[in-house]
Amino acid sequence: MQKSVILFAMVTLLAITACEKKFDIEAEKETLKTLHEEFYNSLYKGDIEVPKKLLAQDWEFFLTTEDYQGRISKEGWLKSFDETFKPAGNVKITVNNIKWIVSPTIAISKSDGTWLFNIHTQPIKFHFFTTVVYEKRNGNWFGIHVHQSFLP
């Protein structure tokens, strides 16, 4: 009897393990890369709906420039979206050297690049370094944290 119980437990454990969904790191990276590109493309287009969908409600943006260091909430960032990104051609972003660290529930991207703004018809160019943290919630990836440093 005891051998039957142990055998049943082992078979059940093997069946449960076989049914678990395997973590496919390459598939997750591709999903995250697509979300990352959708986000940056929304900035080019001035489309606020994409960030609303991709950023978690508790998302925070930490910004460091020569003149400013601070934290911006999702709500505050979305309020400034129209002024910053809506004007056609106002922002051009080049992202380079993206590196990913991905686990089943947390992902981090590190990159550098260039922002080109037109503020009052005056072009301003910044180089930046960015770290983005994503968290998988209810089966979907959401941006939860960004730290961006600008260098003139």
Q: Considering the domain boundaries, does residue 8 fall inside one?
A: no
For the chain, how many residues are written? 152
In this predicted structure, which of 85-89, 114-118, 142-146 has the lowest mean pLDDT?
Answer: 85-89
Q: Considering the domain boundaries, does residue 133 fall inside one?
A: yes
Q: Considering the domain boundaries, does residue 14 fall inside one?
A: no
Q: Considering the domain boundaries, does residue 13 fall inside one?
A: no
Q: Considering the domain boundaries, does residue 15 fall inside one?
A: no
Amino acid at 98: I
The whole-angstrom separation of Cα 9 and Cα 67 is 63
CATH code at 116? Answer: 3.10.450.50
The whole-angstrom separation of Cα 137 and Cα 20 is 18
Q: Rounded to 5 degrees, what angle do the CA atoms 64, 65, 67 make?
A: 120
Question: Which one is predicted more confidently, 1 or 84?
Answer: 84
H helices present in the chain, as ranges: 2-19, 25-45, 49-54, 74-85
Q: Give pLDDT, residue 66.
A: 79
**75 pLDDT exceeds 60?**
yes
Mean pLDDT computed over 17-41 = 82
Q: Considering the domain boundaries, does residue 126 fall inside one?
A: yes
Q: Give pLDDT, residue 83.
A: 73
Domain of 108, in residue numbers: 24-151
The count of domains in the chain is: 1
Q: Considering the domain boundaries, does residue 40 fall inside one?
A: yes
**130 pLDDT exceeds 70?**
yes
Q: Considering the domain boundaries, does residue 9 fall inside one?
A: no
Q: Give pLDDT, residue 90.
A: 65
